[in-house]
Amino acid sequence: MEVNVIRLLKKKPLTSTTFPYLVTSDNYRDLASKDVDLVEITDIDQQFYEMLKHTPSKKLGIEITVSKLRATDGQKLAKSIALIKSVHIFTEKYGNQLVLTSGASSVFEMVSGRCFDALLKLCDIKPETYWISLNNWLEHKISMRCYACDA
């Protein structure tokens, strides 16, 4: 089993797989779904916070992509940083995980680890703590699956 690559799927496979995966959604109303591991959010309203408060903690990942931050003006950038801060506070409080991703669709759009660290510091999040927490969350999610053996 290739452990360095985690596939992101829109639906849970019907049978065991030979590869690690996470089930993703881009609709935050799927927070309550038992099959979804990672929910991408782009904007937050009060309903999101209410859903997160009342969702039984199943160690959900709340994903925010940073690719759109490159082309934003100062006001939108400030709003995005506030979004990341508030989601981080809520995910810690309710036993979930903030997942920052590059949102890259090609290698030219990828974001370096140093840039992620700078963004985390800007959001008052200790990079070392964040990366350890993210790694633990991923290990937990991947270890909860049953995988078929390659024969």
CA distance 110 to 119: 14
pLDDT, residue 150, reads 61
Q: Looking at domain 7-143, does it have CATH number 3.20.20.140?
A: yes
pLDDT, residue 57, reads 61
pTM of the prediction?
0.83
Residue 46 C-alpha from the chain's centroid? 20
pLDDT, residue 17, reads 86
The low-confidence residues of the chain, meaning pLDDT below 50, are 1
What average pLDDT does the structure give for the chain?
A: 84
What length does the chain have?
Answer: 151
Q: Give one DSSP letter per residue of 101-145, joined into a string.
A: E---SSGGG---HHHHHHHHHHTT--HHHHHHHHHHHHHHHHHTS
User: Domain ranges in the chain?
Assistant: 7-143
pLDDT, residue 14, reads 87
pLDDT, residue 44, reads 66
pLDDT, residue 46, reads 65
